[in-house]
């Protein structure tokens, strides 16, 4: 079994240089039109691959000693009534960069407020197996929603096979 505390610490470091870091994130443009962000530290590797813009979808995978041990899939969009969706995504990056009180919680904190923007994260489960939804409201109106699910992968070895 993977060490959950070490996985959580690594994910915290990876997220600091990932999507939430904004334009500082080093993105690789793939041939299939997706973008990839990679972070490595010691035996750990973080791989975030996503499609979009607006809407967007993707997955993050963490490898330990080149073996996949954790992943999350996600899909989100800004309400079509919002003309400047880049403002919403900039706020999302700001919210995701906030340290959650629960270090094992994925995505952003339970709640983050800045001016007229409010981010909420409804997280269910533990890092081993979880799902959730994040929402952004501007002046009380829901303008963004994303769902995600994930957890540990490849933790048991199949016998006789």
pLDDT, tens only, 68-105: 999 999 999 999 989 888 899 899 988 888 865 555 55
Which of 149, 125, 148, 121 is closest to 135 using CA atoms?
A: 121
For residue 139, pLDDT over 80 is answered with: yes
For residue 117, pLDDT over 70 is answered with: yes
Mean pLDDT, rounded, for 117-124: 94
Which of 137, 99, 83, 142 is closest to 115 using CA atoms?
A: 137
92: enclosing H helix or E strand: helix 85-96
Tokens 């954790």 — which residue?
70
Task: Report which of residues 156 and 5 the model is more confident about.
Answer: 5
For residue 122, pLDDT over 70 is answered with: yes
Tokens 């339970």 — which residue?
110
pLDDT digits (tens, 9 = 90+) for 15-56: 777 666 656 668 889 999 999 999 999 999 999 999 988 899
Q: Where are the beta strands (DSSP E) in 15-126?
A: 27-29, 35-41, 44-51, 56-64, 67-78, 111-114, 117-126
Which of 107, 95, 99 is closest to 48 using CA atoms?
A: 107
Please tell me the pTM assigned to this model.
0.85
- Residue 26 has a pLDDT of 82
DSSP state of 99: P
Angle in degrees, CA 96, 102, 108, rounded to 5: 15
Angle in degrees, CA 32, 34, 35, rounded to 5: 135
- Residue 79 has a pLDDT of 94
Mean pLDDT, rounded, for 50-67: 93
pLDDT interval class at 131 (50, 70, 90): very high
132: enclosing H helix or E strand: strand 129-138
CA distance 6 to 2: 8
């Amino acid at each position: 079994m993977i060490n959950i505390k070490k996985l959580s610490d690594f994910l915290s470091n990876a997220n600091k240089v990932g999507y939430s870091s904004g334009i500082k994130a080093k993105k690789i443009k793939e041939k299939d039109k997706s973008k990839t962000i990679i972070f490595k530290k010691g035996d750990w590797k973080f791989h975030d691959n996503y499609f979009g813009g607006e809407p967007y979808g993707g997955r993050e995978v963490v490898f330990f000693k080149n073996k996949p041990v954790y992943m999350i899939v996600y899909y989100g969009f800004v309400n079509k009534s919002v003309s400047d969706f880049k403002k919403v995504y900039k706020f999302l990056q700001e919210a995701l960069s906030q340290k959650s009180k629960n270090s094992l919680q994925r995505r952003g904190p339970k709640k983050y407020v800045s001016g007229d923007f409010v981010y909420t994260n409804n997280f269910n489960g533990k890092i081993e197996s979880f799902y959730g939804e994040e929402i952004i409201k501007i002046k009380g109106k829901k303008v963004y929603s994303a769902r995600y699910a994930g957890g540990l992968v490849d933790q048991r070895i199949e016998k006789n096979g």
